[in-house]
A = this chain, B = another copy of it.
Amino acid sequence: MPTPTTRPLTLDPAAQDLLFRRARTVDRFTDEPVTEEAIRAVHELVRDGPTAFNQQPLRMLLLRSAESRSRLAPHLSRGNREKTLRAPLTALLAVDIRFHHRLPQLFPAYPGAADLYAKNPALRERSALLNGGLQAAYFLIGVRAAGLAAGPMSGFDDEGVDREFFPDGDLRSLLVVNIGRPAGPPPRPRGPRLSYDEVCTTL
């Protein structure tokens, strides 16, 4: 059944389907490898997404080797282990909470930005989490734009993951994302979504 198109959108219906309407979170993938070229293309597309003061706090570890995956697995919730060990590629998304050191280069229009964050670590962590969240979503959209499926997960012990992968203490893990091509249809229908009237109020 073709997805009904919504007139006020400029984005063409095939792209709407690819990025949102037909895209699903995926748990089981085919064995087809995810190339570095594909992930480079995703990055090259979504790096343009906006962040506050162009801070771009998101960093990514691409866990390709069996050894790197086996370091992650013990920190995942039980139900997330097997599917992660079997995915063609797993991306560990994290944020650099010392992103402010790069602001003079990334946002020269406001020279005071780095100081603002240097003085206030709580603001900096919150800002890294929010803007890293924006960039994580751009990345998920980018994975779909590459014709791949993503399986994002927050079911893991983030302090354990940080100790294992980021011992310097500059990075905080956000999401683990399995990436590949879906093996078969989704196991269940899409969960219910909140309606416009449940989430939007006009003043």
Which positions in A face B, CB cutoff 8 Å? 6-12, 14-16, 18-21, 23, 25, 35-50, 52, 54, 56, 58-65, 67-68, 102, 105-107, 109, 126-127, 129-138, 140-141, 144-147, 150, 152-155, 174-175, 188, 190-194, 196, 199-203
Contacts and interface: CB of A to CB of B under 8 A. Distances in A.
A16 B131 CA distance: 21
Contact of A154 (B16, B20, B36, B130): B130
Contacts of A20: 45-46, 48-49, 138
Given A16-B145, A129-B130, A200 B62 contact: yes
Given A9-B41, A20-B48, A141 B140 contact: no
A82 to B, nearest CB: 17
Contact of A59 (B9, B127, B199, B203): B199
Given A6-B45, A61-B200, A133-B136, 13 more contacts: A9-B147, A10-B18, A10-B147, A12-B14, A16-B45, A20-B138, A56-B193, A60-B199, A64-B202, A67-B203, A106-B194, A127-B154, A134-B134
B200 A43 contact: yes
A201 B91 CA distance: 10
